[in-house]
Structure 1
Amino acid sequence: MLKDIAYNEMSKEMLDQLKKGAFLTVKGDDEINTMTIGWGTIGFIWNKPIFMVAVRYSRYTYELLEKTNEFTVSVPILKDMKKELAVCGTKSKREIDKFKECNLTAEKGKVVDTPIIGECELHYECKIVYKQAMEPGMIDKDIRETKYSNNDFHVLYYGEIVASYIKE
């Protein structure tokens, strides 16, 4: 059963888990992909609840995000999904079918067409309201040197949270 919650009701649990990883899922045309994210934030901008995710240009997910206007974030809260998060964070859909490899279930969500990861308990469905390429010259020097030494920068996607819920 999917129980609606306020977008910020489980933000502490989400942020604690985000450091270990969560699943960003995107559907473009007839294909679905998920990847591990370890960075992101929930906030309130433009009078809307927002989930901001950062996706590098080199990721296959970036290609799919550019073809759609939505994404989902699925967060394992109780279940240990370390192995699945490791695979989805290091392998590309260009190489493997991550859903098959990790036995992940793409389940229909409540609002958007992009599925959620059925094995996770906490879910956010988002419609992209803004995207922004990072401006390399504006990044703190230490962060640029440690996180972007290869110049593989992120695009920031701001998704309005149109549904947030837990799986009971």
Structure 2
Amino acid sequence: MRSVSFQELSKDYLTQLVKGAFLTVKNGKTLNTMTIGWGTIGYIWNKPVLMVPVRLQRYTYNLIDKSDSFTVSVPVEKDLKAALKFCGTESGRDVNKFEALGLTAKPAKSVETPIIGECNLHVECRIIYKQLMEPGTLADDIHEKSYPQHDFHVMVYGEILDAYYTD
């Protein structure tokens, strides 16, 4: 295991994010992961922060709304396209994605939510802020293209507590 600063993390994270990464959240005994392809990494409130958008109607939102942490597991240089597609199209309401795909939930270092063992870049976050999008402040072209059903995201900000590569 090799720890990385959030500045070092940025390149591999942002390069892979457009191809997909796994957002995992645990609330009590309930665990789910979903594919994300959007998000930001930066420095806010004197903290390294990862922001992930989650649509209100997603099963993951029900969990993350009641949780205090999340993890993002990134398959850098690993081919998990099929798993990313499955986790982006199937709901945790209907299927246990870990069982269906044979994904390994491994204990995280700093948060209760586990990481996905098949990935090799991991970010552990403590939730510090959530904000529902304000449709009236969104540029018209983005509103029309990304939200024709008015199914807006909640932006979930997580303080990065740990970031590391595994073998």
* TM-score normalised according to structure 2 size: 0.98
Does the alignment pair 1:151 with 2:150?
yes
Query: What is aligned with 1:165?
Result: 164
Poorly superposed stretches of 4+, deviation over 6 Å? none
Please list every run of 5 or more consecutive structure 2 residues that lacks an aligned counterpart in the other structure: none
State the alpha-carbon separation in 2 of the partners of residues 21 and 102 from structure 1: 16
Structure 1 position 17 matched with structure 2 position 16: yes
CA distance in 2, matches of 1:11, 1:30: 31
SS in 2 for 1:85: helix
Partner amino acid for 1:167?
T
> Which letter does structure 2 place at the counterpart of 1:11?
S
Q: Are the counterparts in 1 of residues 21 and 35 from structure 2 also a CA contact under 8 Å?
A: yes
CA deviation string 1:52-89 (max 9, x = no partner)? 00000010000001111110000000111000000000
**Other-structure match for 1:60:** 59
Match of 2:40 in 1: 41
Aligned length: 167
User: What displacement does 1:125 show?
Assistant: 0.2
Match in the other structure for 1:138: 137
CA distance, structure 1, for counterparts of residue 14 and residue 59 of structure 2: 24
- Contact kept, 8 Å, 2:132 with 2:155, in 1: the verdict is yes
Counterpart of 1:88, as a letter, is C
- Alignment partners' CA distance in 2, 1:8 and 1:121: 17
What is the CA–CA distance in structure 2 between the aligned matches of 1:61 and 1:160, rounded to whole Å? 19
Secondary structure of the residue that 1:10 maps to in structure 2?
helix
Q: Structure 1 residue 13: deviation in Å?
A: 1.3
State the TM-score, normalized to the length of structure 1: 0.98
**Mapping of residues 82-161 of structure 1, within 5 Å:** 82-161=81-160
Structure 1: stretches of 5+ with no match in the other structure: none
Aligned-partner Cα distance in 2 for 1:67–1:142: 32
Please report how far the alpha carbon of residue 33 of structure 1 lies from its aligned counterpart in structure 2 after TM superposition: 0.3
The Cα shift of 1:95 comes to: 1.2
SS of the equivalent of 2:11 reads helix
Instruction: Look up the match of 1:31.
Output: 30
SS at 2:157's partner residue?
A: strand
Cα distance in structure 1, aligned partners of 2:13 and 2:65 = 25
CA contact (8 A) 2:9 2:163 kept: no
The one-character-per-residue Cα deviations of 1:74-111 (angstroms, maximum 9, x if unpaired) are 00001110000000000001111101111110000100
Q: What is the aligned-residue RMSD (CA, Å)? A: 0.7
